[in-house]
Amino acid sequence: MRRCAGRQAIVLVFFMALGLPATAAAAGAAASPHPYASARTCSACHQAIHKYWSESPHALSASNPVFLETLRRGVETAADKTAARRECVWCHAPTTLVTNDFELKDPVSREGITCDFCHTVADVDMDQQDRPFVTEPGPVKRGPLEYAKSPAHKTAYSPLHRASPLLCAACHEWKNTHGVAVLSTYSEWKAGPYPARGVPCQDCHMGLVPGATVREDIKGTSLRVVNLHRLVGGSARSQLARGLDLKIESMTRSGEMADIAVSVTNVAAGHPVPGGLATKSLVLAVGVEAADGTLQHRQERVYRREMKDAQGKVLEDLNAIFAQATSIGIDNRIKPKESRTERFSLPISPGARALVARLEYRDASDPRGGPKTLLVTETKRDLAPR
């Protein structure tokens, strides 16, 4: 308790020295069983970084309704409810690995993957799946800048934070009790072409964007770019559109039928698309645009990875995938730099205007409803009137 109280006093004095209101200082240094500071404390100096982070899936990882409902159902049906809760919670709120607050009662726990946790990780040991992070919470904050200095805390340069996918792998690589890799993004990246090119996860998911690392009234001139802590993932349209290329390669028409060849290329994603959980699908849809603008004669190709149970049934429910998957079924996802050409034959209705090809992202992770579909990109080939 003395150590916590002393730390809160230091934070309070520092906030007041910056000219911030005492109430804000007190809020940032509020009493907590955590050895971790709240992200609000970090925001006093690192405003741009905090703003990006606050908009990220990491900031919502322990509080978004999909996670909370999935957690509730998973714990409810588990034989060992305590173990099931811990298994789900530590990845979405990794401070709980230190605090054991798996009920998420403390506000810092509910901040999800919060600033002070990531920046006090000293190493990652992938052989320890249940506790891969080597954590050293305290006054030393680790980051990618070699000569960073702070008036608020000690700093340490960390190659792990600069460009190591291991920092991401700890949560994005996971096997269930049957030994099935339910999450395998890290190993998929390792199997692709990007490690040899020196391109880590951070290059795509935390690229440099405008922003000051530290408020200039605190430190004077600092770097004018920061890593994008919004951590845009593979469920975001912008990330999918950047990583995938869609083309109508050819179209031939014979009578009232048209043959169309469409290519889909993974031009930038460092892992197969779609990545992540087996509840995600990439859908190539083609059809004919009618005179009224509707899409007719729709046909699909679906790219996904299947998880099967011991009876060979394809699992669709997220909790079932985590708990019951014993094997991987079809995996026809598009690998890094791979291009697929798909061919379709479509009837052409009178008055039809164009052939249409679309890429859609389908996510069936939410247990509260059906799959959600996002249009990634679309291309058309006009039909000459006959």
The answer on pLDDT for 6 being more than 70 is no
For 76, 106, 209, 310, 311, the CA distances from 365, given in Å and listed in that order, are 18, 26, 30, 21, 22
Per-residue pLDDT, averaged over 374-385, amounts to 91
Q: pTM score, two decimals?
A: 0.88
The answer on pLDDT for 301 being more than 70 is yes
pLDDT band, residue 28 (cuts 50/70/90): very low
The answer on pLDDT for 65 being more than 80 is yes
Indicate the helix (H) or strand (E) that contains 361.
strand 354-363
Q: What is the DSSP string of 153-190?
A: SEEEE-HHHHH-THHHHHHHEEE-TTS-EEEEHHHHHH
- Sorted by sequence, the CB contacts under 8 Å of residue 5 that are 6+ apart come out as none
- What is the gyration radius of the CA atoms in the chain, in angstroms? 24
Name the DSSP class of 273: B
The answer on pLDDT for 103 being more than 50 is yes
Per-residue pLDDT, averaged over 17-35, amounts to 44
Q: Which of 169, 141, 136, 118 is nearest to 35 (CA)?
A: 136
Q: Crossing angle for the helix pair 65-77 and 81-92, nearest 10 degrees? A: 160
The pLDDT, as a whole number, for residue 284 is 98
pLDDT band, residue 219 (cuts 50/70/90): confident
CA angle 364, 370, 373 (to 5 degrees): 65
Per-residue pLDDT, averaged over 78-102, amounts to 95
